[in-house]
């Protein structure tokens, strides 16, 4: 059982994690960005403002700040980096959404996650949301060799593990360039931008403001 989109069966739904399975209004991603900026500033010995500019340029080339710092700035201890960026109390402000689990359980195909976060963060967030058991596969940044979205290999690794292609796996993410990266894999790739705050009104592909709107895109076969 599954959904059909334009006559094609959807066999899996591949979700982003942060600011997708919970609201951006909790500010978790903003706090993480602040910690990344502070780390980058200290690591490079520049002001936070300079670090922000350098990071903004680098992220156009690399999937994550960690990938940039590793490739160009001598970062080697990734575990230490992620301990700083994702401290134990990072999810304290996150409140479970009582409607999230029933919605996910109602979807008639297997669910998976593709995130640029490390495994400890993914487990922490999924446990706080009470939905960890609904995602038998979580493809985190460590599993992807610290090379994350929008690199094609990050998507391909997940797709290969699921035994499916971008034309039968629906990808949902809140970051436009990550959705664009998925759509670029091949003609017919299925991707949806989750634009909760309405930040991308000119997005030319499929866009939703609430996860429940996936039902307007998908219909049962």
Q: Torsion over CA of 12, 59, 34 and 96, rounded to 10 degrees?
A: -10
CATH topology identical between 3-23+96-220 and 28-85: no
pLDDT at 198: 97
3-state secondary structure of 199: coil
Report the residue count for the chain: 221
CATH T-level assignment (fold) for domain 3-23+96-220: Rossmann fold (3.40.50)
The answer to whether 149 and 181 have CB atoms below 8 angstroms apart is: yes
pLDDT at 2: 57
Tokens linked to 162? 């699921």
CB atoms within 10 A of CB 219: 9
Enumerate the domain spans of the chain.
3-23+96-220, 28-85
Section 114-125 average pLDDT: 97
Residue 221, pLDDT > 50, answer no
Output the pTM of the full model: 0.92
Its CATH architecture, for the domain 28-85, is: Orthogonal Bundle (1.10)
220: confidence class by pLDDT, cuts 50, 70, 90: very low
Residue 181: cis peptide before it, omega within 30 degrees of 0:
no
pLDDT at 137: 97
Give the separation between CA 221 and CA 215, rounded to whole angstroms: 12
pLDDT tens string 4-63: 655 568 999 999 999 999 999 999 999 999 999 999 999 999 999 999 999 989 988 888
């Amino acid at each position: 059982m599954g959904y059909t989109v334009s006559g094609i069966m959807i066999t899996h739904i591949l979700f982003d994690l942060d600011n997708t399975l919970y609201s951006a209004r909790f500010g978790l991603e903003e706090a993480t960005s602040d910690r990344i900026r502070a780390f980058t500033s200290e690591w490079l010995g520049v002001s936070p403002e300079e670090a922000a500019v350098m990071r903004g340029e680098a992220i156009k080339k690399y999937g994550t700040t960690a990938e940039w710092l590793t490739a160009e700035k001598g970062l080697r201890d990734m575990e230490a980096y992620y301990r700083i960026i994702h401290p134990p109390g990072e999810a304290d402000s996150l409140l479970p959404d009582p409607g999230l689990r029933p919605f996910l359980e109602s979807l008639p195909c297997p669910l998976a996650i593709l995130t640029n976060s490390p495994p400890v963060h993914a487990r922490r967030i999924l446990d706080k949301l009470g939905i960890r058991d609904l995602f038998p596969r979580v493809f985190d940044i460590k599993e992807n060799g610290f090379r994350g979205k929008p690199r094609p290999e990050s998507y391909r690794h997940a797709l290969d593990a699921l035994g499916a292609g971008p034309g039968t796996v629906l990808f949902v993410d809140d970051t436009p360039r990550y959705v664009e990266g998925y759509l670029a894999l091949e003609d017919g790739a299925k991707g949806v931008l989750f634009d909760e705050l309405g930040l991308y009104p000119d997005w030319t592909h499929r866009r939703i403001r609430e996860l429940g709107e996936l039902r307007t895109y998908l219909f049962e076969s």
